[in-house]
Amino acid sequence: MDISTRAVHVVNEPSPPGSRPLSVPLVQSSAFAFDSADGLAGAMAGPDGPYAYSRRGNPTVRALEKTLAGLEGGASALAFASGMGAISGVLLALLRPGDRVVAQRCLYGGTYAVLSDLSERYGIQVVYVSGDDPAAFEEAAQSPRTRLMVLETIANPTGQVPDLPGLLAAARRMGVRSVVDNSLASPVLCRPLELGADIVVHSTTKYLAGHSDVLGGAAVFADDELRRAVWPRTVELGACADPFAAWLTLRGVATLPLRMREHCANAAVLAERLAAHPDVAAVHYPWLADHPSYATARKVLSGGGGLLSFELAGGREAGRAFIERVRVAQLALSLGGVETLVTHPASTSHRELDAAALEAAGIAGGLVRMSVGIEGVEDLWDDIEQALA
């Protein structure tokens, strides 16, 4: 089925014969009662038995997991309390002291911080590569201790799109597992598991939920054995998804394809106009022909996404003035909601990076990030023009 159809027809729990609810029921219960001690004991044995305690599993959360697995083309999924919960849970489950990780240089600041912490605490070696050259990955992954490759489908905030087909093929040849953060693309624009990834992670807070009212994350697995390896970390860390957050995310997923079309269409128009504006020094959007990842983006993605960034000719002060003068757009963290948001990455989403790491990641001090919403595009452009003026 088309992804638009799959997004609407979410996976629901079985119901008694004769009728079924059209929407997934919200099971807002922390625990479940049993008729026998053996029944309760059996429910504690693994992730797929009867529900016993919502940190270990919940019907509403399970519906979200099955739905996301279907959208990404995966075998199974786990829902987490946040995107960082998903990333941390996967990394802590799969890495051991002394292992090596090869990661894309331009990563979300939170992911960078987790990798740095693992390096300091447990001696895990992290090697950063550009993400454009599979040969560079192979060279960095020569150590027999290389366990993981970490990538982002669309890098935040530069819009870099790594060579997923080439990198994922190289990782498979070398027996290295791959984790791809697909939050900015969503399964509408790209499904990395179909390109050879082992695990896809999401901040479901972003486009999947889409309304700036949910905190959540997810990991989708190509192989169910990987889910079973990661699930205990979810339970131990307490990073499990809340049923109400899962229910809200399912509501958002139903309109995901529609929203992504509007996000992409609006962002493409604004990127073209910003690129032609005399006060703008550079625009980073993978659907622009002069973007370094343009050719790869056209091969890997079905749209340019809803996130763009731009550097103003006046530098940091001009960028600061701009984000304080917008009126339709809002100065706020996060992205992927229906409203347009602007922020300053160097002091917010990537504040964990020092000056050298920011430069290596291509994040200028005066860079403005814009998460383009689904408002009327002319209203958004009028707002940008008055803020620039």
Q: Please give the positions annotated as active site.
A: 55, 108, 181, 206
| Distance (Å, whole) CA 106 – CA 104 | 6
DSSP letter assigned to residue 374: S
Dihedral over alpha carbons 381, 382, 388, 389 (to 10 degrees): 150
User: Partners of 309 in the beta sheet?
Assistant: 284, 369
Least Cα distance to 142 among 130, 125, 155 occurs for 125
Cα distances (angstroms) measured from residue 152 to each of 9, 32, 193, 378: 28, 38, 13, 31
Least Cα distance to 277 among 308, 304, 313 occurs for 313
Two structure tokens written together for 139: 């060279």
Instruction: Provide the pairing of β-strand 307-312 with 280-284.
Output: antiparallel
Q: Please give the helix or strand (H or E) that residue 177 lies within, else none.
A: strand 177-181
Least Cα distance to 13 among 2, 29, 4, 24 occurs for 24
3-state helix/strand/coil string of 245-273: HHHHHHHHHCCHHHHHHHHHHHHHHHHHH
